[in-house]
Amino acid sequence: MTPALFVPSSRVPQHVWAFAVLYFAASLAHFSHNAEYIAFYPNMRKGLTREQVYLVWLAITGVGAIGFAALRLRWTIVGAAFLLAYGAMGLDGLGHYWLALCSEHSIAANITIWAEAVTGVVLAVSCGAFIARVVRGVSR
């Protein structure tokens, strides 16, 4: 019996791909805003540069890229797990509210923070549900 990890019929549903694209866009928007307006984010660590912000975004996006690569190799569960982790990283943006209240951030900052968090959670939950279906053998 071939493990679900490699079963070609355990294809990732289209909505998961759509959620991944939405999260990618929201994450890019948030990190771009963060990088370009880093001096205006309240209580942000001094010395943090826009280049460092973009490098962190690339590292996080790399987790998603590994997930996509694993899916292309038909490592279904591994790929979906990496996409789940990628989406879950969107919650990290809520850390801005640990530094300062919503009211202390610009409207654009709040929108990009919440867009990243919400789309990340949606991606993570959809990947988790997909993994559960594959493991239970329902996704055929």
pLDDT of residue 27: 98
Instruction: Give the pTM.
Output: 0.88
pLDDT of residue 5: 56
Q: Which 8-state DSSP code applies to residue 119?
A: H
Closest by CA position to 32, among listed 122, 112, 118, 117? 112
26 Rama sector, left if φ>0, alpha if ψ -120 to 50, beta otherwise: alpha
Question: pLDDT tens, 119-137?
Answer: 999 999 999 999 999 888 8
Residue 69 pLDDT exceeds 60: yes
pLDDT of residue 1: 47
Question: pLDDT tens, 72-121?
Answer: 998 999 999 999 999 999 999 998 888 888 788 899 999 999 999 999 99
Look at residue 44 and give its three-state secondary structure: coil
What are the boundaries of each domain within the chain?
12-39+49-136
